[in-house]
Chain A
Protein backbone atom coordinates (compact mmCIF):
# COMPACT_ATOMS: atom_id res chain seq x y z
CA UNK A 1 0.00 0.00 0.00
CA UNK A 2 1.51 3.35 -0.93
CA UNK A 3 0.84 6.86 0.29
CA UNK A 4 -0.99 7.95 -2.86
CA UNK A 5 -3.57 5.16 -2.86
CA UNK A 6 -4.18 5.56 0.87
CA UNK A 7 -4.92 9.23 0.56
CA UNK A 8 -7.17 8.66 -2.47
CA UNK A 9 -9.14 6.08 -0.55
CA UNK A 10 -9.49 8.43 2.43
CA UNK A 11 -10.51 11.44 0.38
CA UNK A 12 -13.09 9.38 -1.53
CA UNK A 13 -14.67 8.15 1.62
CA UNK A 14 -14.57 11.33 3.73
CA UNK A 15 -14.67 14.03 1.07
CA UNK A 16 -16.64 16.59 3.04
CA UNK A 17 -14.70 16.43 6.29
CA UNK A 18 -11.11 16.26 5.08
CA UNK A 19 -9.22 19.39 4.12
CA UNK A 20 -5.66 20.02 3.05
CA UNK A 21 -4.94 16.30 2.55
CA UNK A 22 -1.49 15.93 1.06
CA UNK A 23 1.39 13.53 0.53
CA UNK A 24 4.50 14.86 2.31
CA UNK A 25 6.89 12.12 1.21
CA UNK A 26 6.79 8.47 0.09
CA UNK A 27 5.66 7.34 3.51
CA UNK A 28 4.14 10.41 5.14
CA UNK A 29 0.62 11.78 4.70
CA UNK A 30 -1.10 14.61 6.54
CA UNK A 31 -4.62 16.01 6.62
CA UNK A 32 -6.95 18.24 8.59
CA UNK A 33 -10.22 16.74 9.73
CA UNK A 34 -13.54 17.95 11.11
CA UNK A 35 -13.84 16.94 14.78
CA UNK A 36 -17.09 14.99 14.57
CA UNK A 37 -15.67 12.48 12.09
CA UNK A 38 -12.56 11.40 14.02
CA UNK A 39 -13.85 8.07 15.29
CA UNK A 40 -15.26 7.03 11.91
CA UNK A 41 -12.00 7.90 10.16
CA UNK A 42 -9.96 5.92 12.71
CA UNK A 43 -12.27 2.94 12.36
CA UNK A 44 -11.99 3.10 8.57
CA UNK A 45 -8.19 3.41 8.75
CA UNK A 46 -7.93 0.43 11.04
CA UNK A 47 -10.36 -1.85 9.21
CA UNK A 48 -9.68 -1.01 5.58
CA UNK A 49 -6.16 0.43 5.34
CA UNK A 50 -4.24 -1.64 7.93
CA UNK A 51 -3.42 1.38 10.13
CA UNK A 52 -3.39 -0.66 13.31
CA UNK A 53 -0.85 1.28 15.36
CA UNK A 54 -1.66 4.55 17.10
CA UNK A 55 1.81 5.99 17.40
CA UNK A 56 0.99 9.11 19.31
CA UNK A 57 -1.77 11.52 20.14
CA UNK A 58 -1.15 15.02 21.39
CA UNK A 59 -2.37 18.59 21.34
CA UNK A 60 -0.93 21.99 20.50
CA UNK A 61 -2.15 25.23 22.00
CA UNK A 62 -2.44 28.31 19.75
CA UNK A 63 -3.67 31.15 21.97
CA UNK A 64 -3.41 33.76 19.18
CA UNK A 65 -5.58 31.76 16.80
CA UNK A 66 -7.79 30.84 19.76
CA UNK A 67 -7.68 27.14 19.00
CA UNK A 68 -6.29 23.87 20.26
CA UNK A 69 -5.20 21.39 17.64
CA UNK A 70 -5.33 17.71 18.51
CA UNK A 71 -2.78 15.76 16.49
CA UNK A 72 -2.95 12.01 15.80
CA UNK A 73 -0.03 10.05 14.37
CA UNK A 74 -1.30 6.74 13.08
CA UNK A 75 1.02 4.11 11.63
CA UNK A 76 0.91 0.46 10.80
CA UNK A 77 2.82 -2.61 11.85
CA UNK A 78 2.65 -3.90 8.27
CA UNK A 79 3.40 -0.96 5.99
CA UNK A 80 5.68 2.02 6.60
CA UNK A 81 3.19 4.82 5.85
CA UNK A 82 2.55 7.24 8.71
CA UNK A 83 -0.52 9.44 8.73
CA UNK A 84 -0.83 12.72 10.62
CA UNK A 85 -4.38 13.88 11.32
CA UNK A 86 -4.99 17.30 12.81
CA UNK A 87 -8.27 18.42 14.32
CA UNK A 88 -8.93 22.05 15.23
CA UNK A 89 -10.99 22.70 18.35
CA UNK A 90 -12.15 25.99 19.88
CA UNK A 91 -9.97 26.98 22.81
CA UNK A 92 -12.74 27.90 25.26
CA UNK A 93 -14.60 24.57 25.05
CA UNK A 94 -12.44 21.92 23.38
CA UNK A 95 -14.36 18.69 23.06
CA UNK A 96 -13.89 15.65 20.83
CA UNK A 97 -14.97 12.04 20.56
CA UNK A 98 -12.59 9.58 22.19
CA UNK A 99 -10.91 7.02 19.92
CA UNK A 100 -10.26 4.50 22.70
CA UNK A 101 -12.88 2.10 21.26
CA UNK A 102 -10.74 1.92 18.11
CA UNK A 103 -7.20 2.18 19.45
CA UNK A 104 -6.92 0.76 22.94
CA UNK A 105 -3.68 2.57 23.78
CA UNK A 106 -5.25 6.00 23.17
CA UNK A 107 -6.48 5.72 26.75
CA UNK A 108 -3.41 7.21 28.46
CA UNK A 109 -2.71 9.69 25.68
CA UNK A 110 -6.19 11.16 26.01
CA UNK A 111 -6.01 11.29 29.78
CA UNK A 112 -2.74 13.15 29.46
CA UNK A 113 -4.13 15.64 26.94
CA UNK A 114 -7.15 16.15 29.20
CA UNK A 115 -5.10 17.01 32.29
CA UNK A 116 -2.51 19.12 30.47
CA UNK A 117 -4.67 20.95 27.91
CA UNK A 118 -8.22 20.57 29.15
CA UNK A 119 -9.53 18.85 26.04
CA UNK A 120 -12.59 16.82 26.94
CA UNK A 121 -12.84 13.39 25.31
CA UNK A 122 -16.44 12.22 25.03
CA UNK A 123 -17.13 8.58 25.83
CA UNK A 124 -13.64 8.00 27.21
CA UNK A 125 -13.86 5.03 29.60
CA UNK A 126 -11.88 6.61 32.43
CA UNK A 127 -11.20 10.32 31.92
CA UNK A 128 -9.16 11.48 34.94
CA UNK A 129 -5.61 12.62 35.68
CA UNK A 130 -2.68 10.42 34.78
CA UNK A 131 0.55 12.07 35.91
CA UNK A 132 -0.45 15.19 37.85
CA UNK A 133 -1.97 15.44 41.33
CA UNK A 134 -5.74 15.73 41.37
CA UNK A 135 -5.61 19.28 42.78
CA UNK A 136 -4.01 20.52 39.57
CA UNK A 137 -7.04 19.69 37.46
CA UNK A 138 -8.22 22.88 35.82
CA UNK A 139 -4.79 24.50 35.62
CA UNK A 140 -3.98 22.99 32.19
CA UNK A 141 -0.18 23.30 32.58
CA UNK A 142 0.76 22.83 28.92
CA UNK A 143 -1.39 25.70 27.71
CA UNK A 144 0.66 28.71 26.74
CA UNK A 145 -1.01 31.07 29.21
CA UNK A 146 -0.26 28.86 32.22
CA UNK A 147 1.53 31.08 34.70
CA UNK A 148 3.58 28.34 36.25
CA UNK A 149 4.11 27.08 39.73
CA UNK A 150 3.21 28.40 42.26
CA UNK A 151 1.12 31.24 40.80
CA UNK A 152 -1.86 29.21 39.74
CA UNK A 153 -1.30 26.31 42.07
CA UNK A 154 -0.65 28.01 45.42
CA UNK A 155 -4.33 28.01 46.28
CA UNK A 156 -4.17 24.24 46.52
CA UNK A 157 -1.29 24.24 48.94
CA UNK A 158 -2.85 26.36 51.67
Chain B
Protein backbone atom coordinates (compact mmCIF):
# COMPACT_ATOMS: atom_id res chain seq x y z
CA UNK B 1 0.00 0.00 0.00
CA UNK B 2 1.20 3.48 -0.86
CA UNK B 3 2.39 5.16 2.33
CA UNK B 4 1.84 8.72 1.06
CA UNK B 5 -1.27 10.20 2.54
CA UNK B 6 -3.42 13.00 1.20
CA UNK B 7 -4.51 16.01 3.29
CA UNK B 8 -7.68 14.38 4.67
CA UNK B 9 -6.30 10.86 4.86
CA UNK B 10 -4.77 8.78 7.60
CA UNK B 11 -3.12 5.38 7.75
CA UNK B 12 -4.13 3.25 10.71
CA UNK B 13 -2.42 -0.01 11.67
CA UNK B 14 -4.70 -2.49 13.37
CA UNK B 15 -2.60 -5.09 15.10
CA UNK B 16 -0.39 -7.08 15.30
CA UNK B 17 -1.74 -7.26 18.85
CA UNK B 18 -5.29 -6.23 18.18
CA UNK B 19 -7.74 -8.67 19.76
CA UNK B 20 -9.75 -8.61 16.56
CA UNK B 21 -8.64 -12.04 15.48
CA UNK B 22 -7.10 -14.95 17.32
CA UNK B 23 -3.39 -14.63 16.67
CA UNK B 24 -1.58 -11.58 15.48
CA UNK B 25 -1.58 -10.16 12.00
CA UNK B 26 -1.43 -6.57 10.88
CA UNK B 27 -4.13 -4.84 8.97
CA UNK B 28 -3.17 -1.50 7.43
CA UNK B 29 -6.07 0.78 6.66
CA UNK B 30 -6.07 3.97 4.67
CA UNK B 31 -8.88 6.11 5.97
CA UNK B 32 -10.54 9.16 4.55
CA UNK B 33 -12.52 10.47 7.46
CA UNK B 34 -14.03 7.29 8.82
CA UNK B 35 -14.25 5.51 5.48
CA UNK B 36 -11.78 2.80 4.56
CA UNK B 37 -10.41 3.59 1.11
CA UNK B 38 -7.68 0.98 1.00
CA UNK B 39 -6.63 -1.99 3.08
CA UNK B 40 -3.75 -4.40 3.19
CA UNK B 41 -2.95 -7.41 5.34
CA UNK B 42 0.54 -8.24 6.52
CA UNK B 43 1.11 -11.83 7.56
CA UNK B 44 4.05 -13.63 9.03
CA UNK B 45 4.15 -12.48 12.63
CA UNK B 46 3.71 -16.01 13.97
CA UNK B 47 4.98 -18.04 11.04
CA UNK B 48 5.84 -21.49 12.38
CA UNK B 49 7.27 -23.23 9.33
CA UNK B 50 5.09 -26.28 9.88
CA UNK B 51 5.43 -27.50 6.28
CA UNK B 52 9.20 -27.63 6.66
CA UNK B 53 8.96 -29.26 10.09
CA UNK B 54 6.71 -32.00 8.69
CA UNK B 55 9.31 -32.81 6.04
CA UNK B 56 11.85 -33.55 8.77
CA UNK B 57 9.56 -35.76 10.89
CA UNK B 58 8.40 -39.29 10.26
CA UNK B 59 4.74 -39.78 9.34
CA UNK B 60 3.85 -40.74 12.90
CA UNK B 61 5.66 -37.77 14.42
CA UNK B 62 3.75 -35.48 12.08
CA UNK B 63 0.35 -36.01 13.71
CA UNK B 64 0.92 -33.92 16.88
CA UNK B 65 2.46 -31.18 14.72
CA UNK B 66 -0.58 -30.76 12.47
CA UNK B 67 -2.73 -30.36 15.59
CA UNK B 68 -0.89 -27.15 16.26
CA UNK B 69 -1.65 -25.47 12.95
CA UNK B 70 -4.79 -24.07 14.54
CA UNK B 71 -5.88 -25.24 17.95
CA UNK B 72 -9.54 -24.68 17.15
CA UNK B 73 -9.54 -27.25 14.39
CA UNK B 74 -7.00 -29.78 15.66
CA UNK B 75 -9.29 -32.70 14.89
CA UNK B 76 -10.01 -31.77 11.27
CA UNK B 77 -6.35 -30.99 10.63
CA UNK B 78 -5.49 -34.45 11.86
CA UNK B 79 -8.15 -35.97 9.67
CA UNK B 80 -6.82 -34.15 6.61
CA UNK B 81 -3.21 -35.23 7.20
CA UNK B 82 -3.92 -38.79 8.36
CA UNK B 83 -6.50 -39.21 5.60
CA UNK B 84 -3.99 -38.11 2.96
CA UNK B 85 -1.34 -40.56 4.20
CA UNK B 86 -3.92 -43.35 4.40
CA UNK B 87 -4.90 -42.72 0.78
CA UNK B 88 -1.24 -42.77 -0.26
CA UNK B 89 -0.42 -45.95 1.62
CA UNK B 90 -3.79 -47.55 0.83
CA UNK B 91 -4.60 -48.14 4.49
CA UNK B 92 -8.16 -49.15 5.25
CA UNK B 93 -10.00 -47.74 8.27
CA UNK B 94 -12.57 -49.98 10.02
CA UNK B 95 -16.09 -48.61 10.00
CA UNK B 96 -16.34 -48.15 13.76
CA UNK B 97 -13.23 -45.99 13.73
CA UNK B 98 -14.68 -43.92 10.91
CA UNK B 99 -17.79 -43.23 12.95
CA UNK B 100 -15.72 -42.21 15.96
CA UNK B 101 -13.75 -39.84 13.74
CA UNK B 102 -16.93 -38.26 12.38
CA UNK B 103 -18.27 -37.78 15.92
CA UNK B 104 -15.06 -36.05 16.99
CA UNK B 105 -14.91 -33.88 13.91
CA UNK B 106 -18.45 -32.65 14.38
CA UNK B 107 -17.72 -31.95 18.05
CA UNK B 108 -14.74 -29.99 16.84
CA UNK B 109 -17.01 -27.99 14.54
CA UNK B 110 -19.34 -27.25 17.47
CA UNK B 111 -16.61 -25.94 19.74
CA UNK B 112 -15.00 -23.90 16.97
CA UNK B 113 -18.26 -22.23 15.97
CA UNK B 114 -19.09 -21.53 19.63
CA UNK B 115 -15.79 -19.80 20.28
CA UNK B 116 -15.93 -18.00 16.93
CA UNK B 117 -19.35 -16.64 17.74
CA UNK B 118 -18.32 -15.55 21.21
CA UNK B 119 -15.34 -13.69 19.83
CA UNK B 120 -17.52 -12.11 17.18
CA UNK B 121 -19.84 -10.93 19.97
CA UNK B 122 -16.92 -9.16 21.59
CA UNK B 123 -16.08 -7.29 18.40
CA UNK B 124 -19.49 -5.68 18.26
CA UNK B 125 -19.38 -4.87 21.96
CA UNK B 126 -21.61 -7.76 22.97
CA UNK B 127 -19.20 -9.08 25.59
CA UNK B 128 -21.67 -11.29 27.44
CA UNK B 129 -22.02 -13.41 24.29
CA UNK B 130 -18.47 -14.60 24.82
CA UNK B 131 -19.28 -15.64 28.36
CA UNK B 132 -22.33 -17.62 27.23
CA UNK B 133 -20.59 -19.44 24.42
CA UNK B 134 -17.39 -20.20 26.33
CA UNK B 135 -19.48 -22.05 28.91
CA UNK B 136 -21.15 -24.21 26.26
CA UNK B 137 -17.81 -24.77 24.58
CA UNK B 138 -16.38 -26.13 27.82
CA UNK B 139 -19.11 -28.78 27.83
CA UNK B 140 -18.23 -29.82 24.29
CA UNK B 141 -14.54 -29.90 25.19
CA UNK B 142 -15.41 -32.15 28.13
CA UNK B 143 -17.00 -34.60 25.70
CA UNK B 144 -13.88 -34.55 23.52
CA UNK B 145 -11.71 -34.88 26.60
CA UNK B 146 -13.66 -38.01 27.62
CA UNK B 147 -12.75 -39.68 24.32
CA UNK B 148 -9.29 -38.38 23.51
CA UNK B 149 -7.87 -37.45 26.90
CA UNK B 150 -7.04 -33.93 25.79
CA UNK B 151 -9.05 -30.77 25.52
CA UNK B 152 -7.58 -28.99 22.52
CA UNK B 153 -4.68 -30.80 20.88
CA UNK B 154 -5.76 -34.40 20.76
CA UNK B 155 -3.32 -36.49 18.65
CA UNK B 156 -6.09 -39.08 18.66
CA UNK B 157 -6.05 -40.44 15.12
CA UNK B 158 -3.59 -43.01 13.94
CA UNK B 159 -3.02 -44.47 10.52
CA UNK B 160 -5.82 -46.96 10.00
CA UNK B 161 -7.97 -46.07 12.98
CA UNK B 162 -8.24 -44.23 16.25
CA UNK B 163 -6.43 -44.62 19.54
CA UNK B 164 -9.42 -45.67 21.63
CA UNK B 165 -13.11 -46.44 21.74
CA UNK B 166 -15.85 -44.16 23.02
CA UNK B 167 -15.88 -44.37 26.81
CA UNK B 168 -18.68 -45.68 29.01
CA UNK B 169 -21.41 -43.10 29.45
CA UNK B 170 -20.47 -40.98 26.44
CA UNK B 171 -23.88 -41.36 24.83
CA UNK B 172 -25.84 -40.30 27.93
CA UNK B 173 -23.54 -37.40 28.65
CA UNK B 174 -23.68 -36.13 25.07
CA UNK B 175 -27.50 -36.40 25.09
CA UNK B 176 -27.67 -34.17 28.18
CA UNK B 177 -25.18 -31.65 26.83
CA UNK B 178 -26.83 -31.49 23.38
CA UNK B 179 -30.26 -30.92 24.91
CA UNK B 180 -28.82 -27.95 26.78
CA UNK B 181 -26.95 -26.64 23.74
CA UNK B 182 -30.04 -26.80 21.53
CA UNK B 183 -31.89 -24.60 24.00
CA UNK B 184 -28.90 -22.29 24.13
CA UNK B 185 -28.78 -21.95 20.34
CA UNK B 186 -32.42 -20.88 20.32
CA UNK B 187 -31.48 -18.41 23.03
CA UNK B 188 -28.52 -17.07 21.00
CA UNK B 189 -30.84 -16.48 18.07
CA UNK B 190 -33.28 -14.65 20.31
CA UNK B 191 -30.50 -12.55 21.83
CA UNK B 192 -29.02 -11.63 18.47
CA UNK B 193 -32.21 -10.98 16.57
CA UNK B 194 -33.86 -9.12 19.42
CA UNK B 195 -30.93 -6.79 19.79
CA UNK B 196 -31.24 -3.43 18.08
CA UNK B 197 -27.47 -2.90 18.01
CA UNK B 198 -26.92 -6.27 16.38
CA UNK B 199 -29.54 -5.50 13.73
CA UNK B 200 -28.00 -2.18 12.83
CA UNK B 201 -24.43 -3.38 12.79
CA UNK B 202 -24.88 -6.74 11.09
CA UNK B 203 -27.75 -6.68 8.62
CA UNK B 204 -26.58 -5.48 5.22
CA UNK B 205 -23.03 -4.83 6.45
CA UNK B 206 -19.97 -6.50 4.93
CA UNK B 207 -22.03 -8.05 2.16
CA UNK B 208 -20.24 -10.59 0.00
CA UNK B 209 -21.92 -11.40 -3.33
CA UNK B 210 -21.92 -15.03 -4.48
CA UNK B 211 -20.01 -14.11 -7.64
CA UNK B 212 -17.34 -12.18 -5.69
CA UNK B 213 -17.01 -14.94 -3.12
CA UNK B 214 -16.35 -17.47 -5.90
CA UNK B 215 -13.80 -15.19 -7.54
CA UNK B 216 -12.03 -14.64 -4.23
CA UNK B 217 -11.85 -18.40 -3.60
CA UNK B 218 -13.69 -18.24 -0.26
CA UNK B 219 -15.05 -21.47 1.24
CA UNK B 220 -16.87 -22.62 4.37
CA UNK B 221 -19.62 -20.70 6.20
CA UNK B 222 -18.55 -17.37 4.67
CA UNK B 223 -19.23 -18.82 1.21
CA UNK B 224 -22.39 -20.71 2.18
CA UNK B 225 -23.82 -17.48 3.60
CA UNK B 226 -23.89 -16.17 0.02
CA UNK B 227 -26.04 -19.08 -1.13
CA UNK B 228 -23.38 -21.31 -2.70
CA UNK B 229 -23.90 -24.84 -1.33
CA UNK B 230 -20.27 -25.95 -1.50
CA UNK B 231 -19.35 -28.52 1.11
CA UNK B 232 -16.58 -31.12 0.79
CA UNK B 233 -18.63 -33.56 2.87
CA UNK B 234 -21.10 -33.66 -0.04
CA UNK B 235 -18.77 -33.02 -2.99
CA UNK B 236 -16.14 -35.57 -2.16
CA UNK B 237 -17.39 -37.57 0.84
CA UNK B 238 -14.73 -38.93 3.15
CA UNK B 239 -15.17 -41.30 6.12
CA UNK B 240 -18.84 -42.33 6.43
CA UNK B 241 -20.42 -39.00 5.51
CA UNK B 242 -22.13 -40.54 2.49
CA UNK B 243 -24.17 -42.79 4.83
CA UNK B 244 -25.30 -39.91 7.00
CA UNK B 245 -28.24 -37.64 6.47
CA UNK B 246 -27.44 -33.95 6.72
CA UNK B 247 -28.08 -30.84 4.75
CA UNK B 248 -25.67 -28.12 3.68
CA UNK B 249 -26.72 -24.98 5.57
CA UNK B 250 -26.90 -21.88 3.40
CA UNK B 251 -28.22 -18.34 3.66
CA UNK B 252 -28.87 -15.82 0.91
CA UNK B 253 -27.83 -12.37 2.07
CA UNK B 254 -24.07 -12.82 2.39
CA UNK B 255 -23.82 -10.20 5.15
CA UNK B 256 -22.54 -10.55 8.72
CA UNK B 257 -25.90 -11.72 10.03
CA UNK B 258 -26.10 -14.40 7.31
CA UNK B 259 -22.69 -15.79 8.29
CA UNK B 260 -23.78 -16.02 11.93
CA UNK B 261 -27.04 -17.64 10.83
CA UNK B 262 -25.19 -20.31 8.83
CA UNK B 263 -22.97 -21.13 11.81
CA UNK B 264 -25.95 -21.47 14.16
CA UNK B 265 -27.65 -23.81 11.66
CA UNK B 266 -24.47 -25.81 11.22
CA UNK B 267 -24.24 -26.39 14.94
CA UNK B 268 -27.70 -27.95 14.99
CA UNK B 269 -26.75 -30.02 11.94
CA UNK B 270 -23.53 -31.18 13.62
CA UNK B 271 -25.45 -32.42 16.65
CA UNK B 272 -27.89 -34.23 14.35
CA UNK B 273 -24.94 -35.95 12.62
CA UNK B 274 -23.46 -37.05 15.95
CA UNK B 275 -26.80 -38.45 17.11
CA UNK B 276 -27.09 -40.47 13.90
CA UNK B 277 -23.55 -41.75 14.31
CA UNK B 278 -24.22 -42.93 17.85
CA UNK B 279 -27.31 -44.78 16.59
CA UNK B 280 -25.80 -46.30 13.46
CA UNK B 281 -22.31 -47.13 14.62
CA UNK B 282 -21.49 -50.83 14.19
CA UNK B 283 -19.43 -52.83 16.61
CA UNK B 284 -16.15 -54.21 15.37
CA UNK B 285 -12.43 -53.59 15.48
CA UNK B 286 -10.95 -50.11 15.74
CA UNK B 287 -7.88 -51.19 13.82
CA UNK B 288 -7.01 -53.97 11.35
CA UNK B 289 -3.92 -55.47 12.98
CA UNK B 290 -3.25 -57.91 10.15
CA UNK B 291 -3.43 -55.45 7.26
CA UNK B 292 -0.46 -54.52 5.07
CA UNK B 293 0.56 -51.72 7.41
CA UNK B 294 -0.70 -53.63 10.47
CA UNK B 295 2.37 -52.97 12.54
CA UNK B 296 2.53 -49.25 12.04
CA UNK B 297 5.94 -48.67 13.47
CA UNK B 298 7.26 -45.18 14.09
CA UNK B 299 9.29 -45.54 10.91
CA UNK B 300 6.43 -46.70 8.72
CA UNK B 301 7.26 -46.29 5.04
CA UNK B 302 4.79 -44.96 2.51
CA UNK B 303 4.91 -45.89 -1.20
CA UNK B 304 6.02 -43.28 -3.70
CA UNK B 305 3.31 -40.98 -4.98
CA UNK B 306 1.31 -37.90 -4.17
CA UNK B 307 -2.21 -37.25 -2.99
CA UNK B 308 -4.40 -34.23 -2.28
CA UNK B 309 -6.98 -34.91 0.40
CA UNK B 310 -9.67 -32.39 1.34
CA UNK B 311 -11.95 -32.23 4.37
CA UNK B 312 -14.58 -29.76 5.51
CA UNK B 313 -13.02 -27.77 8.31
CA UNK B 314 -15.23 -25.57 10.55
CA UNK B 315 -13.87 -22.68 8.42
CA UNK B 316 -14.04 -24.29 5.01
CA UNK B 317 -11.96 -26.39 2.70
CA UNK B 318 -8.90 -27.86 4.40
CA UNK B 319 -6.57 -29.82 2.16
CA UNK B 320 -3.26 -31.60 2.56
CA UNK B 321 -1.06 -32.31 -0.43
CA UNK B 322 1.41 -35.00 0.60
CA UNK B 323 4.24 -36.15 -1.67
CA UNK B 324 6.09 -39.31 -0.73
CA UNK B 325 9.38 -40.51 -2.14
CA UNK B 326 9.08 -43.94 -0.57
CA UNK B 327 10.96 -43.15 2.62
CA UNK B 328 9.65 -42.81 6.17
CA UNK B 329 9.34 -39.03 5.94
CA UNK B 330 7.17 -37.04 3.53
CA UNK B 331 9.07 -35.38 0.70
CA UNK B 332 6.74 -32.40 0.69
CA UNK B 333 3.61 -31.44 2.58
CA UNK B 334 1.49 -28.54 1.42
CA UNK B 335 -1.24 -27.33 3.74
CA UNK B 336 -4.10 -25.65 1.93
CA UNK B 337 -5.97 -23.93 4.72
CA UNK B 338 -9.41 -22.33 4.42
CA UNK B 339 -8.35 -19.16 6.20
CA UNK B 340 -5.82 -18.13 3.56
CA UNK B 341 -8.42 -17.16 0.93
CA UNK B 342 -10.78 -15.86 3.61
CA UNK B 343 -8.15 -13.45 4.91
CA UNK B 344 -7.09 -12.55 1.41
CA UNK B 345 -10.72 -11.62 0.76
CA UNK B 346 -10.81 -9.25 3.72
CA UNK B 347 -9.25 -6.13 2.10
CA UNK B 348 -11.69 -6.06 -0.86
CA UNK B 349 -14.55 -6.72 1.55
CA UNK B 350 -13.82 -3.86 3.92
CA UNK B 351 -13.05 -1.27 1.25
CA UNK B 352 -15.73 1.40 1.37
CA UNK B 353 -17.03 0.51 4.83
CA UNK B 354 -16.44 2.57 7.94
CA UNK B 355 -13.61 1.84 10.34
CA UNK B 356 -16.07 0.83 13.07
CA UNK B 357 -17.36 -2.01 10.89
CA UNK B 358 -13.93 -3.46 10.17
CA UNK B 359 -13.73 -5.46 13.40
CA UNK B 360 -17.27 -6.76 13.00
CA UNK B 361 -16.67 -7.89 9.41
CA UNK B 362 -13.31 -9.48 10.18
CA UNK B 363 -14.81 -11.22 13.20
CA UNK B 364 -17.70 -12.61 11.21
CA UNK B 365 -15.29 -14.18 8.70
CA UNK B 366 -13.97 -16.25 11.61
CA UNK B 367 -10.38 -16.31 10.42
CA UNK B 368 -7.65 -18.06 12.38
CA UNK B 369 -4.38 -16.25 11.73
CA UNK B 370 -2.40 -19.06 13.23
CA UNK B 371 -3.59 -21.34 10.44
CA UNK B 372 -2.89 -18.87 7.64
CA UNK B 373 0.55 -18.30 9.10
CA UNK B 374 1.44 -21.95 9.71
- A interface vs B, CB < 8 Å? 27, 52-56, 58, 60-61, 71, 73, 77, 80, 82, 84, 103-105, 107-109, 129-133, 141-142
Contact = CB atoms under 8 A, between A and B. Distances in A.
Contact of B230 (A60, A77, A105): A77
A108 B52 contact: no
B321 A105 contact: no
B341 A105 contact: yes
A55 B311 CA distance: 12
A56 B336 contact: yes
Contacts of A103: 217
Contacts of A84: 308
B19 to A, nearest CB: 22
Interface of B: 43-44, 47, 49, 51-52, 214-217, 219, 223, 228, 230, 235-236, 308, 310, 317, 319, 321, 323, 331-332, 334, 336, 340-341, 344-345, 373
A131 B332 contact: no
Contact of A73 (B47, B215, B308, B373): B308
Contacts of A52: 214-215
SS class, residues of chain B in contact with chain A:
mixed
Contact of A130 (B44, B308, B310): B44
A50 B321 CA distance: 23
24 contacts: A53-B214, A53-B217, A53-B230, A55-B317, A56-B319, A56-B321, A56-B336, A60-B323, A60-B332, A61-B332, A71-B334, A73-B308, A73-B319, A73-B336, A84-B308, A103-B217, A105-B217, A105-B340, A105-B341, A107-B344, A130-B44, A132-B47, A142-B51, A142-B52
Contacts of B214: 52-53, 77
Given A82-B236, A104-B215, A130-B44, A56 B334 contact: yes
Contacts of B47: 131-132
A60 B331 contact: yes
B217 A133 contact: no
B373 A80 contact: no
A130 B344 CA distance: 12
Q: Interface centre among B219, B235, B319, by most A CB within 10 Å?
A: B235
A77 B211 CA distance: 11
